[in-house]
Amino acid sequence: MSAVPRSGDNTAPPLATTVAIVGCRDSQTTSRDDLVAIEEPLEINVLLNPESGAREADPSFTLSITMRSPGEDRALATGFLFTEGIIHSLEDLNEIRTPNPAVGKYQLKNTIQCSLNPNISFDYKRFQRYFYTNSSCGVCGKTSINALSLIHKPQLTPDHPKIGSKLMRSLPQCLASDQPHYQQTGGLHGAALFSPDGTLISLQEDIGRHNAVDKVIGSELLAGRASFDNLILLLSGRAGFELIQKALAADIPVVASIGAPTSLAIDMAKEHGMTLIGFLSGSGFNIYSGRERIED
């Protein structure tokens, strides 16, 4: 059994802060306060087992340093480990802790340490990256193009789930109404999971679109979810390759984005039988892959 509690962070740090600005409108300038999204680094470490071959004096491996919105750090780390194929369920995690004291202007704990169960094989050399990534991106910082291939082979069921086009068109409004920090700052991406009947299951916001996806997947893992194979992932921005890669790692069959998909995202969705939708709005959408899951 995993020792990781099936819950999110105990406290919610601020996602926005107030700054003094000068607004210019119609040749008029006005001094006022404005809310902006907070951006802070998070170092994700993995505690290495003796079998890893690591030096005894260096028992942990820095997997990623990501710029993120504070809060839901445990969900972010859990989702990142999952979408990178390091863990396959919450049971593979022994402990998640924040070993260092709170620091900085916002008094945040900016290091998170993940301990894997002893039976999990973690080849840390396979995950060597450049030192910094701007979000928990499955591509950012990889040192070889060959490292971009999927570790997890998706198990998507053809024609499942079936989703009505009317229901799909209703999802953007659900996302918009449940993104309070985006409405305040205009600076956060959103990722949401929906059931096939349109029920909102989970929504997360972050300055990084990759972080938002990892947070929404990680939060559901921490809540005890074992499978994502009948869910819809909705993205507030564009759908790039790395986000499709993360969705496929979770066996998510349907991904929809408010913005455009990229060519590589479309290729990957087609290759693995995923339904990929772009330019989703209340008036319509484009289907780039997996037409068979969408009903008129």
In the set 114, 137, 140, 174, the catalytic residue is: 137
**Distance in angstroms (rounded) separating the CA atoms of residues 194 and 232:** 5
Length of the chain: 296
Kindly tell me the sign of the dihedral angle through the C-alpha atoms of 229, 230, 235, 238. Answer: positive
**Distance in angstroms (rounded) separating the CA atoms of residues 188 and 209:** 8
257 touches 288 (CB < 8 A): no
Measured in degrees and rounded to the nearest 5, phi and psi for residue 108 equal -115, 150
- Is residue 174 part of the annotated active site? The answer reads no
For 117-151, the DSSP string reads -TT----GGGG-B-S-BSSS-SSTTBS-GGGGS-S
Copy the structure tokens of residue 25: 């409108």
Amino acid found at 154: P
Place of tokens 């009948």: 230
Measured in degrees and rounded to the nearest 5, phi and psi for residue 115 equal -105, 125
Q: For 52, which DSSP code? A: G
Task: Give the chain's largest Cα–Cα span.
Answer: 66
**Distance in angstroms (rounded) separating the CA atoms of residues 294 and 104:** 48
Amino acid found at 45: N
Residues 6+ apart with CB under 8 A from 2: 90, 91, 92, 93, 94, 117
Amino acid found at 18: T
Residues annotated as catalytic are 137
